[in-house]
Amino acid sequence: MKAENLRIVFRSTVYENRPRRSEEFAEIAREIRRDIIKMLVLAGSGHSGGPLGTADIHAVLFFGGYMRYRPKDPWWPGRDRYVLSAGHLCPVLYATLARAGFFPVEELRTLRKYGSRLQGHPGRDMGLPGLETSTASLGQGISIAVGMALSDKWLDKSDRRVFALTGDGELQEGSVWEAAMAAAHYKLDNLCWIVDNNDCQIDGRVPNVMSIYPIDKKFEAFGFAVMQCDGHDYEELSTCLEQFLENHRRAIGKPTVIIARTKMGRGVSFMEDDYRWHGKPPTPEQALKALQELEDPYITVVEPAEV
């Protein structure tokens, strides 16, 4: 079977950014996961595991009223900024931005295609609304986020906030800890650093490749306000983000880190918690099965004659 044999329809639903109940987050996250599978099977390459594993985090962060942004005015100077330091997770970011209304959902079909604004790894040169910076050489995005937070807090004296997400394997990059040191040194309580702790990387389980544990104690030692949560539990994620906003309001003088325990490939049974899904897309057969599991209302196999 080829990708052309699948009837792939993107619903045009766009979601508002406001306080929500867990069931609503679940529905949004499921929509994002469907988008990810569709984008990847159409692209024929890309990363499946991480984007699926962080769909819940992105759903809560972007659609729970925690981040301030205006999809129709993407470079609004008062916005909070989000840096996806783990740039290879970009399918989840693209899906999230589209579902927030930054650009048409149909554009998700162009992932990794020539001339697309949805580059294989985030590229700011394509001018995608909502994409703050190019990332993907691991470890760099978090330092960029520190620079943004430094500017907001100490130069512009604004109340803007910066959110950033790194992987856990990414913490093996030494410069990540240079960023951590600087964030604490400059008391960046406007920085919310989320660690996607799925314990998987390309070569295997994180402790077998190069252990980064204990993560919490490392960040505590660096001077962070440390929180841990189940990265698939909407209430726990919401509580953590609320706590960060409170930390910022109270100006606690410390950056916040949320260590979110996740499962790579979450939501698709045969991908879940399997590091081999780090960097490959589903085959059309697998995409069909995944979209059925994710209750996609449109997915069917079309006969070659209809193609």
- Point out which residues bind another protein (CB under 8 A): 123-125, 132-137, 139-140, 143-152, 154-156, 174-175, 178-179, 181-182, 185-186
133: left (phi over 0), alpha (psi -120 to 50) or beta: beta
Give the chain's end-to-end CA distance (angstroms, integer): 12
Least distance (Å) from another protein to the CB of residue 6? 34
Least distance (Å) from another protein to the CB of residue 195? 18
Least distance (Å) from another protein to the CB of residue 144? 4
CB nearer to another protein: give 85 or 286.
85
Phi, psi values for residue 239, rounded to 5°: -60, -45
CB nearer to another protein: give 150 or 240.
150
Cα distance between residue 230 and residue 261, in whole Å: 5
Please report, as a single letter, which amino acid is at residue 235. E
In this structure, are residues 85 and 170 in contact, taking their beta carbons and an 8 Å threshold? Answer: yes
CB nearer to another protein: give 143 or 197.
143
Q: Where does 136-287 show beta strands of DSSP type E?
A: 162-167, 191-197, 200-201, 204-205, 225-230, 256-261
CB nearer to another protein: give 144 or 258.
144
Least distance (Å) from another protein to the CB of residue 3? 29
Least distance (Å) from another protein to the CB of residue 181? 7
Q: Which of 92, 118, 107 is nearest to 36 (CA)?
A: 92
Tally Cβ neighbours within 10 Å of residue 116: 18
Least distance (Å) from another protein to the CB of residue 80? 13
Q: Where does the chain show beta strands of DSSP type E?
A: 81-84, 162-167, 191-197, 200-201, 204-205, 225-230, 256-261
CB nearer to another protein: give 37 or 164.
164
Cα distance between residue 169 and residue 197, in whole Å: 8
